[in-house]
Amino acid sequence: MGQKTIYFLCTGNSCRSQMAEGFGKQYLGDHYRVLSAGMEKHGVNPLAVQVMAEVGVDISGQTSKLIDPTILNHADLVVTLCSDAEKRCPITPPQVARQHWPFPDPAVATGSSSERLQAFREVRDGIKARIIAFDNLEAGQKNH
């Protein structure tokens, strides 16, 4: 059996899904083809690139993409990272598993530059923890 595909989705494919793709490739890349997309295409947010680089994950080469219906309909798992993506995500075939991991949009954070960066770091750390938990769950299921 080939690699499974996990597809991370958020509104603009600029922050949350980009960070999830970066961590997904780092932690799940041996077992999953990790992709991301958005309902819209907003471009990769430079603050997302910056906070991921702080933890050694380079997402600077990733691009903002719209949902590809072929990938969506053939993915093994689709993960929505915001309520907007969960509501607007097209219907998938029954064999495509779906999970919702809601995270706030750090791009709408206000305040000083350090406060905005902190919002990105909090979302980054939450996504990382969720992907590690998912990886541990997957590994546990394979060992039983």
Phi, then psi, of 97 in degrees rounded to 5: -75, 145
Based on the residue annotation, tell me whether 15 is a catalytic residue of this protein. no
Interatomic CA distance for residues 28 and 133, integer angstroms: 11
**Catalytic residue (choose from 77, 89, 96, 109):** 89
Instruction: Catalytic residue, from 82, 107, 123, 127: name it.
Output: 82
Which one of 10, 19, 20, 39 is the catalytic residue? 10
Catalytic residue list: 10, 82, 89
